[in-house]
Structure 1
């Protein structure tokens, strides 16, 4: 009986206190390490921002052309 208690008590303490704490701390540390963007995500985001800047420049050019050819195009085509 004493050998049973010798193995049973530490096992219960480990499963009841140490293991849950260990699992929580493990997954908290993994969550913190994966919190930021990966290198691939950063590269994709930079490429998308470059595309946005290119499209904004193109839109400004088109508006400049329309302003030169049709000065009142914005008032005629505005949504009321």
Structure 2
């Protein structure tokens, strides 16, 4: 009788840890990965602030480019190699 309980425990725990737990873990993390991850309220607020800052900086850069275009029309050509991020199709800050 004791052998039966020993075998039953081995089969029970073997099934539990050999099949059920790994399958549960796989399905759990698979479903977590498929669920859309939305930013928290704090992250959304920070992204909004960063977007506003970027917009203000872009307006400032556009204003400075307009001033330079008016005061020194050839400044873009003389500084063509200075900025690798320069938008070559952009003149006067339009189209960004």
* Alignment RMSD (CA, Å): 2.3
Q: Give the gaps of 5 or more residues in structure 2.
A: 83-96
- Which TM-score applies when normalising by structure 1? 0.74
In the superposition, the TM-score normalised over structure 2's length comes to 0.65
For structure 1, which runs of at least 5 residues remain unmatched after alignment? none
* Correspondence for 1:19 among 1, 18, 21: 21
Q: Which has the higher contact order (CA 8 A, sep 6+)?
A: 2
Could you tell me which of 58, 80, 83 is aligned with 1:78?
80
What is the match of residue 65 of structure 2? 63
